[in-house]
Structure 1
Amino acid sequence: MAPQLFTTATARSAGLTRAALRGSSYVRLAHGLVVRLDDALDERERLALLATVLPPDAAFSHQTAAALLGAQLAPPPHPHVALTPRRVLPQHAGLVVHGRRLAAEDVVLDRGLRGTSGAQTFLDVAAVLPPQELVAVGDALLRAGHLDAARLGARLGRADRVRGVVRARTCAPLLSPLAQSRPESVMRYWLLASELPDPEPQVPVTDRWGREVAHGDLGYREWKLLLEYEGRQHADTEQFGRDVDRYSLMAADGWLVLRFARSHLLRPQVVVDRTRRALLSRGWRPQPR
């Protein structure tokens, strides 16, 4: 059974007091909107319930849409919704409402939820995210099939004077569907924005017989240099053993592997400097300006 939804008025008519609605059997979705839980309520179910009280032209947008479409982005505490501009734009204490004139191609229905398309979402979040995080969102949307160069180019082409369009147009050429995680995308952005050679995502590593034995998150084939991001999953005992085997195979065939962790995501200068030093040690030389 789906969770039962109450507005302030329907709760009163059902004989529910304010004290009852504050009990453990109820969860507040937004101001004036409460749900009775029969089962655990996940984010998608929460948004589906919210959608039942929204106008028919409403579409989830911005970070809310990005999370729905598979970007590794935490859903905002107050869902973002785009509505067609009107004389008085409806406001709700539990929502962030944006006035948007959306074309038909700017809206998609994803597993029953109406939200902005990948291209529209990328443009919207460009106004509020730093460039490295915007690239990470774009990579995820590409990887999930919600975005491609043609659709993104078309949307950005009709976005003159839209807030965030300059950043969106700057970051669009940097996107890659090959990135497997947000940290990989963030590190790649820092390297692309530096004076270093552009890194390649998902670099295959072959042995002396040409067999692929591993791959690196980012790397430079010419200089046999790889960059690896070590997330929490690498602490697992079995994964640790696989990593040791993989790194020894890489080293045996002459690859140098730089390993980075969560703490490095806040220190872009460290990632760039260590990569630069490693490249220099492998024979790369900066080109004179």
Structure 2
Amino acid sequence: MGEIGEVFPGSWAVRAGVVSAWELRKDFERVLPDVYVRKGIRLDARGRAQAVAHWVKGTGILVGFSAAAMHGTQWLDDKPAEIALSTRARPPRHVLVYRDAIPADEVCGVGGFRCTTPARTAFDLARRLDFGEAVEVVDALCNATRLTTADIERLAERHPRARGATSLRRVLPYIDGGAESIQETRTRLLLRQAGLPAPETQIRIHGPDGMTLARLDMGWRKWRVAVEYDGAHHWTDRDQRAWDIDRSAVLESLGWTLIRVSAALLTHRPRTITTRALDALRRHGADL
């Protein structure tokens, strides 16, 4: 008989239980050496992070994507599990192992597992990922934890000679924790790289009574120009579509111009988005 970690869907909580070898073979499958889950369970990024922590029997520190997942970052399910160890170890498939000395005050506990703090996690990811991916993941981490670029900059000051510092400095000006999806981040990054001013995110529009009439993905309050990424349901759901039409009419009555972005536009015609945004800003008085 042996003790295993059993991962349950929903909360992804890990519970210890004692099962027989027969039950282990019949009802569970191995995801890492000495780590098992019930058959049929698909581990998300958080579950894989917990699995790799069990693999090293608590001796490591979850870092990078795994630490981000433990902090609640979304859209990481296609990323590898990552852990830092003080000794050499041959990693299993789809696990990245780093030998890194992480200061104690840059480590925290989440759900009984040790992982890097949000600031240290962002610091690591921004230094080693490609620019676009770094902005996407750190945006999502900041959204999940309310981490700010100032928090990351303060930590970076402690490690001025860290590898990848140049990449970090390039990424930080583009980080905005207001992004609520990867597509919103990509849309905002497209606007920034086209030379447009940095848009404000999650803009609340209030009526005369002070009630919120709308919350816009991003835009420029000064010129009353907004840009919104619409997922598939905005185009296929009749009720959502009707609501969007009414909402657009309200915004137009308040002097706003709303630029709608779809997956097709963002993927195949990005210049159309930037041209429309630039034209709208100029019409509203921006000197660009």
TM-score class, shorter:
0.7 to 0.9
- In 2, Cα distance between the equivalents of 1:193 and 1:206? 30
Residue 140 to residue 164, structure 1, CA distance change in 2 (3 Å) = same
Identity, % of aligned pairs?
Answer: 28
CA displacement, residues 139-175 of structure 1 (integer Å, 9 cap, x when unaligned): 3333333623453123211233323322222332443
The 5 Å alignment of 1:34-49 reads 35=36, 37=38, 40=41, 42-43=43-44, 44-49=46-51
Name 2:241's counterpart in structure 1.
240
The reply to whether residue 66 of structure 1 matches residue 68 of structure 2 is yes
- In 2, Cα distance between the equivalents of 1:41 and 1:117? 26
State the TM-score, normalizing by the size of structure 2: 0.78
The CA deviation at 1:125 is 1.6
The 5 Å alignment of 1:32-181 reads 32-33=33-34, 35=36, 37=38, 40=41, 42-43=43-44, 44-76=46-78, 78-84=80-86, 86=87, 89-94=88-93, 95-145=95-145, 147-181=147-181
Name 2:16's counterpart in structure 1.
none
Name 1:225's counterpart in structure 2.
225
Name 2:188's counterpart in structure 1.
188
- Which structure 1 segments of 5+ residues have no match? 5-12
- In 2, Cα distance between the equivalents of 1:116 and 1:146? 16
CA-based RMSD of the aligned residues comes to: 3.1
The CA deviation at 1:34 is 5.2
- In 2, Cα distance between the equivalents of 1:273 and 1:128? 32
Residue 150 to residue 216, structure 1, CA distance change in 2 (3 Å) = closer
Higher RCO structure, 1 or 2 (CA under 8 Å, sep 6+): 1
State the TM-score, normalizing by the size of structure 1: 0.78
Larger mean Cα displacement after TM superposition, 226-235 or 205-214: 205-214
CA displacement, residues 198-236 of structure 1 (integer Å, 9 cap, x when unaligned): 211122334467654213111122322110110234343
- Which structure 2 segments of 5+ residues have no match? 8-19
